[in-house]
Amino acid sequence: MKRVFDLTLTLCAAVVLAACGDGDVSSTDAVETASGAVSDAGTQESPKPGREYDGTVSKPGSPFAMSYRIVGTPIVGSPVTVDLRVDSMLGSREVTIDYRINDLAAMSLHEAQPDQVRIAPVENESFVLQRVTVVPQREGRIYLNVSASYETDEGSASAIMAVPIQVGAGGRELQENGEVQLDENGEAVRVLSGN
Amino acid sequence: MKFAAKTRLAPLLALALAVTACGGGGSSASPGPTPTPNTAPTADAGLDQTATEGDIVTLDGSGSSDVDVGDSLTYAWEQTAGPNVVLSDPNIAQPSFTSPDVAIGSPAVLSFQLTVNDGIASNNDTVNITVLEAQDKVTIAGRLFYEFVPPIIRGSQCDGLDFGSTVERPIRQATVQLLDANGAVLDSTLAADDGSYSFSLVDADIEVRIRVRAELKSSGPASWDVEIRDNVDTSPNPPPLDRRPLYVTQWALFSSGVTDITDANFTASSGWSGTGYTGDRAAAPFAILDTIYTAMKTIVAVDPTATFPPVDGFWNVNNTPVSPTNIDIGELSSAFYDSGIDSLFLMGNANTETDEFDDHLVLHEWTHHFDDTFSRSDSIGGSHFLGESLDLRLAFGEGFAHALAAIALEEPQYCDTGAIPGGAGSFGFNTETNNSGTQGWFNELSIATLVYDLWDTNPDGTDTGSIGFGPIYDTMTGPQRTTPAFTTIFSFAAELRPMLPETDRDFVDTQLNRENIDTGLVDIWGDGQTTTPSGARNGGRDLTPIYTEVPTDGSIANVCINNDYVVDDVVNKLSDWRYLRFTTPTAGTWRVTAQANPVPPPTNDPPNPDIRDRSDPDLYIWRDGRFVTSGRSGDADIEIMERSFDAATYVIEMQEWRHEDDDAASDFPSRVCFDISMVAL
């Protein structure tokens, strides 16, 4: 976990540091267990949420904070387990969790893994835990997109997080948008076609 | 055009005679076929044209017609007005001529009449050719727009982007450049608020293009410097962020011509083709830029000479919600503002999150920049979600950011849109009407609703008035900058009230009460808070007093810290940090002691060879918003500081480090109390 206050001091300011999120969580060796939540996929034992997680995503105003932990080292062709935690103030309200992989040639959900689960927090808890299994098909930095949503009287609200599965040493495949050129002052500009 | 009635009597009569001569068999003469009437042709001299002197102009009568099958037309062009010219052939459908010289500012109008004839009847039409002087220099003017895609709103929630409702908005105040075919900048200007621009004295008849830079530059009277850049760079040695590429958008080359151009209008496309992004997403940087401009105009409306420090916005189509943050490859754990480099970072990956059209979110982050540079924010940041009970400084920073976004956009509905298509990751709330969690001074949405309702004029329950934005701005940029307290709703409210007439103070108090904030005493310390908020945990322990006064005579104050409100294990929640204050009567050296009392018992987290089951109080001391000193020794159960202080009022924030320590014993107590004392040395 990033120590928020220490970072603030590092920046020599008592002002905003990544004020809306940046809840990075570093992994530790400690492993604790807590009772998992009951889901459509069954009862699961998952690590205690919080500081054991590899990362947390939460946007300003979001109804959720989402955390993940990758168990083991991903390799091509072998199932990889990802532990998920979704925090909210929803009480006992049911949450739907969806999994999506954009490049199925790069990674797929395990054959026994449903792409959607509906789950409610265990009593007196404000989070749900899930475990999802994927199978990398090639090396590189591949993303499992996880979204959590709930229904309200005024529509659906959801949040999304991309879990980075690093397989081997390959890097991320980047999408292009325009091209970099030098402007009249020799400074780099990214030129977009307006048409 | 005229219509000439006629019959073809001659051919029909000859045919009738021939039939009779051949002995058709009848003894009596029968009547011949009915004569077919001729229909006159229709002359069409073509559209009126504008030409420049010396141009080859072609007249076009090819649209003339005749409904009668087999009729052929003849053409006759005749000049009826204007300086005489010589037609290449006046008897063809499309003759041409060389336009004559004309005087400066005196265009000539040449008129031609076309007569068409089908052998029996004729018809005519006219056309005018306006001839202009050829210019050595021309003016190129037009308007620039970007495509803005609004959100789909259902109730108070948002459900992705509504591409079917895309609108064009003017690109305001951005730098517009005129480039030649080699990319050299011929001229530069700023787009006006309606997106209009103009370049004069441009060489005639050359190839040029329009380029617009995603930047706002002004040197006064209100000054600003905003740039939208690309953060992603996977090269081995990427340059510093402020030297990453600035976004520019340009359009195709066109001829400057020999006359003025007034309609060189261009639009930066969203890149959406109906089913996905297939083109450059050129609108995105300008959507972000324009949203920031909207906020700056809100400020300038109450402070016409405002000086906005430089700020950069970073966006890339690969920016994805991934934690931990790695800016170079586009992995961001959130949209966020980094005060250390005066930059805000926004998502752009259509598979997960795009932020460029989420104007409330953009302004939320920009407001952190405003707080950082125009005002003061003591927010400790960190991950959180809506409805949590937060550290007061974080709650105020986040709530004020929501409110200022809604004020600047004059729209209380907050939207954050997600993946395309489908909208996964989308959410929203109404700043004015929605609640989440326990309302109070620790809830960002309470703060947002309160500040927004102070400004808005829409009657809503107890919100029946408005103090306008001026007093809010004056508070934030005035006393809030130097308040000896931390920046919270209490410092804001206490500093705002004296600026208002009594009726408005009552209005403020009503809004505070609505958010469960006591108003019997409204001071910067929140000393008037006596009511335990409904929903407070464990009986509302360790919430008040918000600041504990530390005596300077050696007597003891006892303060407890708990993590009752920690939900996602990030220690930025209510009661994670407790505030203290002291006023030194004289300058000198003082000993400040925080001693755990009672000392937490050893835990059952075996084996415990270290002190991770012992308390570790940490103290940070501030004066008027400036960091003074800290005590973070790591000594078990106690922190002792000996420091020099001026005669002044100081505030202390204190935490139990073990609540944040990754390696703390798992069953370390969730609540620890301390005896705090100060003695002069």
Q: What is the pLDDT of residues B131-152, one digit of tens each?
A: 988 888 999 999 999 999 999 9
What residues does B579 pair with on adjacent strands? B547, B653
- pLDDT, mean of residues B332-354: 96
Enumerate the residues of chain A whose CB falls inside 8 A of the CB of residue B380.
Answer: 4-5, 8
Pairwise CB contact (< 8 Å): B333 & A56:
yes
The answer, yes or no, to whether residue A48 has pLDDT greater than 70, is: no
- Residues B346 and B396 grouped into a single domain: yes
Interface test with B, best of A3, A64, A116, A160 (most B CBs within 10 A): A160
Three-class SS of residue B133? coil
For residue B103, give the DSSP letter: B
Enumerate the residues of chain A whose CB falls inside 8 A of the CB of residue B383.
Answer: 21-23, 56, 58, 65
Give the count of domains, chain B.
3
Pairwise CB contact (< 8 Å): A4 & B381:
yes
Angle at B70 between CA B66 and CA B71, to 5 degrees: 45
Listed in sequence order, the DSSP H helices in B323-384 are 359-373
Three-class SS of residue B482? helix
Name the phi and psi angles at B100, rounded to 5: -80, 165
Give the list of residues 6+ apart from residue B275 with CB closer than 8 angstroms, or none.
Answer: none
Is the separation of the CB atoms in B492 and B475 below 8 Å? yes
- pLDDT, mean of residues B453-459: 92
Q: What is the pLDDT of residues A118-158, one digit of tens each?
A: 998 877 778 899 999 999 999 999 999 999 999 887 778 99
Tokens standing for residue B203: 């060489």
Distances from the Cα of B560 to the Cα of A17, B245, B617, B657, B659, angstroms: 27, 50, 11, 13, 13
What ipTM was predicted for this assembly?
0.82
Q: What is the C-alpha separation between B349 and B325, in angstroms, rounded?
A: 15
Please give the full DSSP string across A61-117, using - where no structure is assigned: T-SEEEEEEEES---TTS-EEEEEEEEES-TT--EEEEEE-S-TTTEEE-TT--SEE
- The confidence score (pLDDT) of residue B33 equals 62
- Residues B157 and B28 grouped into a single domain: no
Residue with tokens 């993946």: B419
Pairwise CB contact (< 8 Å): B324 & A54:
yes
The helix or strand, by DSSP H or E, that contains position B283, with its residue range, turns out to be helix B283-302
Name the phi and psi angles at B364, rounded to 5: -60, -50
Pairwise CB contact (< 8 Å): B334 & A60:
yes
The answer, yes or no, to whether residue B22 has pLDDT greater than 50, is: no
Enumerate the residues of chain A whose CB falls inside 8 A of the CB of residue B349.
Answer: 162, 175
The answer, yes or no, to whether residue B320 has pLDDT greater than 60, is: yes
Pairwise CB contact (< 8 Å): B568 & A58:
yes
Is the separation of the CB atoms in B484 and B649 below 8 Å? yes
User: What average pLDDT is seen over chain B?
Assistant: 91
Other Cβ atoms within 10 Å of B57 Cβ, number: 20
Q: What is the C-alpha separation between B558 and B617, in angstroms, rounded?
A: 13
Residue with tokens 């900048």: B185
Enumerate the residues of chain A whose CB falls inside 8 A of the CB of residue B162.
Answer: none
Outline where DSSP puts E strands in chain A. 33-39, 42-47, 55-57, 64-71, 80-88, 95-100, 107-109, 116-119, 127-136, 140-152, 155-167, 179-182, 188-193
Distance from the Cα of residue B458 to its chain's centroid: 24
Is the separation of the CB atoms in A61 and B402 below 8 Å? yes
Interface test with B, best of A177, A180, A191 (most B CBs within 10 A): A177
What residues does A8 pair with on adjacent strands? none
Is the separation of the CB atoms in B334 and A22 below 8 Å? yes
pLDDT band, very low/low/confident/very high, at A45 (cuts 50, 70, 90): very low
Instruction: For residue B480, give the nearest of B407, B371, B364, B406 by alpha carbon.
Output: B371
- Residues B402 and B263 grouped into a single domain: yes
Q: What is the pLDDT of residues A74-131, one digit of tens each?
A: 999 999 999 999 998 887 889 999 999 999 999 999 999 999 999 988 777 788 999 9
- pLDDT, mean of residues B640-655: 97
The helix or strand, by DSSP H or E, that contains position B158, with its residue range, turns out to be strand B157-161
Pairwise CB contact (< 8 Å): A17 & B339:
yes
Identify the closest residue of chain B to A34 by CA–CA distance: B666
- pLDDT, mean of residues A19-42: 28
Is the separation of the CB atoms in B442 and B546 below 8 Å? no
Q: Which of residues B398, B431, B464 is at a domain's end? A: B431
Angle at which helix B444-455 crosses helix B502-514, to 10 degrees, equals: 150
Other Cβ atoms within 10 Å of B189 Cβ, number: 14
- pLDDT, mean of residues B594-609: 77
Enumerate the residues of chain B whose CB falls inside 8 A of the CB of residue A60.
Answer: 334-335, 361, 364-365, 398, 401-402, 416
Instruction: For residue B60, give the nearest of B48, B42, B50 by alpha carbon.
Output: B48
- The confidence score (pLDDT) of residue B421 equals 77
pLDDT band, very low/low/confident/very high, at B18 (cuts 50, 70, 90): very low
- Residues B217 and B261 grouped into a single domain: yes
Pairwise CB contact (< 8 Å): A155 & B157:
yes
- Residues B206 and B291 grouped into a single domain: yes
- pLDDT, mean of residues A33-54: 38
Is the separation of the CB atoms in A171 and A86 below 8 Å? no
Q: What is the C-alpha separation between A40 and A114, in angstroms, rounded?
A: 10
The answer, yes or no, to whether residue B498 has pLDDT greater than 70, is: yes
Pairwise CB contact (< 8 Å): A154 & B157:
yes
Is the separation of the CB atoms in B511 and B536 below 8 Å? no
Pairwise CB contact (< 8 Å): B394 & A19:
yes
The answer, yes or no, to whether residue B645 has pLDDT greater than 70, is: yes
Tokens standing for residue B513: 């009460």
Q: Tell me, what CATH number does B567's domain have?
A: 2.60.120.380
Pairwise CB contact (< 8 Å): B245 & A157:
no
Enumerate the residues of chain B whose CB falls inside 8 A of the CB of residue A22.
Answer: 325, 333-334, 336, 381-383
- Residues B257 and B341 grouped into a single domain: yes
Pairwise CB contact (< 8 Å): A193 & B416:
no
pLDDT band, very low/low/confident/very high, at B69 (cuts 50, 70, 90): confident
- The confidence score (pLDDT) of residue A7 equals 32
For residue A120, the distance in angstroms to the closest alpha carbon of chain B comes to 16
The answer, yes or no, to whether residue B5 has pLDDT greater than 90, is: no
For residue A6, the distance in angstroms to the closest alpha carbon of chain B comes to 10
Pairwise CB contact (< 8 Å): A49 & B154:
no
Q: What is the C-alpha separation between B629 and B647, in angstroms, rounded?
A: 15
> Where in the sequence is the domain holding B666, given as residue range(s)?
537-680
pTM assigned to the model = 0.84
- Percentage, residues of chain B above pLDDT 70: 93
- Residues B170 and B248 grouped into a single domain: yes
Residue with tokens 């040197």: B219
Please give the full DSSP string across B20-31, using - where no structure is assigned: HHTT-S-SSPPP
What residues does B623 pair with on adjacent strands? B626
For residue B656, the distance in angstroms to the closest alpha carbon of chain A comes to 13
Residues present in chain A in total: 195
Give domain status of residue B478, yes or no: no
Enumerate the residues of chain B whose CB falls inside 8 A of the CB of residue A21.
Answer: 333-336, 383
The answer, yes or no, to whether residue B586 has pLDDT greater than 60, is: yes
- Residues B322 and B377 grouped into a single domain: yes
Q: Tell me, what CATH number does B80's domain have?
A: 2.60.40.10
- The confidence score (pLDDT) of residue A5 equals 34
Q: Are strands A127-136 and A107-109 parallel, antiparallel or unpaired?
A: antiparallel
Q: Which amino acid is at B596?
A: A
The answer, yes or no, to whether residue B440 has pLDDT greater than 90, is: yes
What residues does B338 pair with on adjacent strands? A17, B343
The answer, yes or no, to whether residue B429 has pLDDT greater than 90, is: yes
For residue A2, the distance in angstroms to the closest alpha carbon of chain B comes to 9
Give the list of residues 6+ apart from residue B351 with CB closer than 8 angstroms, or none.
Answer: A102, A143, A145, A162, B320, B419, B420
Tokens standing for residue B305: 């000479």
Distance from the Cα of residue A143 to its chain's centroid: 9
Distances from the Cα of B85 to the Cα of B107, B116, B131, angstroms: 15, 21, 12
- Residues B588 and B653 grouped into a single domain: yes
Q: Among residues 323-352 of chain B, which lie with CB inside 8 Å of chain A?
A: 323-325, 329-331, 333-340, 349, 351-352
Tokens standing for residue B595: 């001693």
Other Cβ atoms within 10 Å of B1 Cβ, number: 12
The answer, yes or no, to whether residue B634 has pLDDT greater than 50, is: yes
Pairwise CB contact (< 8 Å): A177 & B316:
yes
Interface test with B, best of A1, A57, A191 (most B CBs within 10 A): A57
**Range from B9-18, B282-291, B546-555, B654-663 carrying the lowest mean pLDDT:** B9-18
The answer, yes or no, to whether residue B16 has pLDDT greater than 50, is: no
Which domains does chain A possess?
24-173 (2.60.40.10)
Instruction: For residue B570, give the nearest of B435, B358, B389 by alpha carbon.
Output: B389
- Residues B163 and B232 grouped into a single domain: yes
Three-class SS of residue B329? helix
B249 touches chain A (CB under 8 A): yes
What residues does B313 pair with on adjacent strands? B228, B344
Q: What is the C-alpha separation between B628 and B154, in angstroms, rounded?
A: 49
Tokens standing for residue A168: 């081997």
- Residues B113 and B154 grouped into a single domain: no
B278 touches chain A (CB under 8 A): no
The answer, yes or no, to whether residue B492 has pLDDT greater than 90, is: yes
- The confidence score (pLDDT) of residue B671 equals 95
Instruction: For residue B93, give the nearest of B71, B112, B123, B116 by alpha carbon.
Output: B116
For residue B70, the distance in angstroms to the closest alpha carbon of chain A comes to 48
- Residues B98 and B216 grouped into a single domain: no
- The confidence score (pLDDT) of residue A51 equals 59
Q: Are strands B547-549 and B577-583 parallel, antiparallel or unpaired?
A: parallel
